[in-house]
Amino acid sequence: MYTFIINYCERMKILSAQQIHGWDAYTIANEPITSVNLMERAATACTDYITQQNFFNKPFKVFCGKGNNGGDGLAVARQLLQQHFDVSVYIIEFGAAGTGDFQTNLQRLHELTVNIHFIQDEGFFPVINKNDIVIDALFGSGLNRPLKDLSAALVQHINQSEAFVISIDVPSGMFIDKSSINNAVVRANVTLTFQQYKLCFLVAENAENTGKLIILDIGLLPGFLNDIETVFQTADAASIQHIYKPRKPFSHKGSYGHALIIAGNTGKMGAALMAAHACLRAGAGLTTLNIPSAFLNAVHSHLPEAMCQLRENGLSFEKINAVGIGPGLGTGDDSLQLIEQTLNEYKLPSVIDADALNIISTHKRLSRLITPGSILTPHPKEFERLFGKAENDFERIDTALKKSAELNCVIILKGTYTLIAQNGKGWFNTTGNAGLAKGGSGDILTGIVTALLAQKYHPFEAALLGVYLHGLAADIALEKQSQESMIASDVVNCLGAAFGGLLMG
Ligand SMILES: NC(=O)C1=CN([C@@H]2O[C@H](COP(=O)(O)OP(=O)(O)OC[C@H]3O[C@@H](n4cnc5c(N)ncnc54)[C@H](OP(=O)(O)O)[C@@H]3O)[C@@H](O)[C@H]2O)[C@@H](O)CC1
Ligand SMILES: [K+]
């Protein structure tokens, strides 16, 4: 099996709603701290963020449910009142009593203000003005069914306003770890969540409702994470540094492998050049490009460090340690032949991208030939062609996990938070920015990951480190470019600084 296990990034585990409640209980028992004081700490972290935002004298309208998310809202309302903000509180009434911590905070708030209103039906909805700041504390991680009736109507009322909306922990109506598509969900400008990423914030379908995501440290005890199993985690700098192997002083080009990039065709040679450029900059000892002979001069003049195999003379895998195949290849019969030959003859893991994936999608028998440990790098459309249409982002992620196990491959599902799936588990990358949403970004990722494979990184490590470096280089490129102006070559040119960042720790 090509499974690789990293267990040194406990902090970055992504918990289910149930595990989040377990963490809460663990902290209460072991710190120890009372639950109402933990709620106070969470509320203080929210209030500190809110009061640093220059909302000047804008009025706050705080909407609360009767669970602990509502309790957070009541505590924030009190803290804002204590700092002399104009605060009105609206509690959605279901008949049932609030949780203990909600009731305690309601009592504390009653001692400060009478501006507390219970919403019994739609007639009690307050007018929300453009100038208001809405705090959404209706439902948090305890949501267990889609909102309907009064709560759905209230969410719609908030969403129809032009007020600035801050959601506490999660936009109300959004499930933590499954799809909320077509449900009533608050559309937040900012979401203040606690302690870690939650799965719901890592998928594109929730981006508009989440707004800007801020993760607040509320001091939950890290010890809880040691023994719990999660399907997902995020890859942070510390885990990546464990993977990274700095070059050794007494080494030579042979120490870092020979990468072969099979890419490019008429009209798409840029993709091949970018992939090879990235491969060179990501440290492969030698980089050879397999290209149609008509483009030999272009390669020699743009990338004198690269060697060439002429496509007309056939493919050779002699002394090749890693293959990257697909960028700009086209989907014609000649490309089909190249892919079939590579899958049949090359027996080490390869990076399979772009048109190579498209060809495998239309010739499904080829997927059985993929060498174990190979790395597939589809964007969502390519993924759909390969594995079928998903109803939502969560279903697509689930399929990626299953297919990674079934094919014994690493799947890099590209997105804002790129997923690296291996043997049924998933890691989300957190570097990168929207400047990467451009032609060429995928080609350079293929080059980087192929270079890392050539340097004998385990395929999973190559995928994780490659995706991280690609995003980090894009973040560094922003120092001189904007997200609009950044192009793939800028990212390649920042790979040096990205590696440098890893070295410095
Ligand atoms: N864990 C932590 O680290 C910390 C957590 N903290 C905070 O606690 C929050 C979680 O609180 P919570 O568990 O009380 O749940 P919450 O989201 O307030 O829901 C309340 C109740 O609503 C109900 N309900 C569910 N769906 C519904 C629906 N569609 N329509 C109507 N009702 C529905 C359901 O009860 P049911 O009706 O099923 O009996 C549920 O129990 C968390 O998000 C964070 O803000 C911090 O204070 C401290 C650190
Ligand atoms: K909320």
Q: Are residues 332 and 184 in the same domain?
A: no
Domain coverage including residue 209: 17-229
The ligand whose atoms approach the alpha carbon of 191 most closely is: 2
Residue 39 Cβ inside 6 Å of ligand 1? The answer reads yes
Interface confidence (ipTM) of the complex: 0.98
Which atom of ligand 1 approaches the CA of 35 most closely? 48
What order of strands is seen across the sheet that includes strand 116-119?
A: 116-119, 87-92, 60-64, 133-137, 164-168, 190-194, 212-216
142 in a known ligand binding site: yes
Residues 17, 28: Cα–Cα separation, whole Å: 17
Establish if 2 belongs to a structural domain: no
Establish if 85 belongs to a structural domain: yes
Structural domain total, the chain: 2
Which atom of ligand 1 approaches the CA of 66 most closely? 20
How far separated are the first and last CA of the chain, in Å rounded?
Answer: 31
Establish if 6 belongs to a structural domain: no
Residue 136 Cβ inside 6 Å of ligand 1? The answer reads no
To test ligand 1's pocket by mutation, which of 68, 175, 194, 198 has the most ligand atoms within 8 angstroms of CB?
68
pLDDT per residue, tens digit, the chain (505 aa), is 343 444 334 458 999 999 999 999 999 999 999 999 999 999 999 999 999 998 988 999 999 999 999 999 999 999 999 999 999 999 999 878 999 999 999 999 999 999 999 999 999 999 999 999 999 999 999 999 999 999 999 999 999 999 999 999 999 999 999 999 999 999 999 999 999 999 999 999 999 999 999 999 999 999 999 989 999 999 988 889 999 999 999 999 888 999 999 999 999 999 999 999 999 999 999 999 999 999 999 999 999 999 999 999 999 999 999 999 999 999 999 999 999 999 999 999 999 999 999 999 999 999 999 999 999 999 999 999 999 999 999 999 999 999 999 999 999 999 999 999 999 999 999 999 999 999 999 999 999 999 999 999 999 999 999 999 999 999 999 999 999 999 999 999 999 999 998 877 6
Establish if 452 belongs to a structural domain: yes
Domain boundary among 180, 205, 229: 229
CA 136–ligand 2 middle distance (angstroms)? 5
Inter-axis angle of helices 68-82 and 35-51, nearest 10: 50
Establish if 5 belongs to a structural domain: no
Spell 19-32 as b/e; 16+ CB within 10 A means b.
bbeebbebbbeeee
Question: pLDDT value at position 3?
Answer: 38
Q: Are residues 204 and 327 in the same domain?
A: no
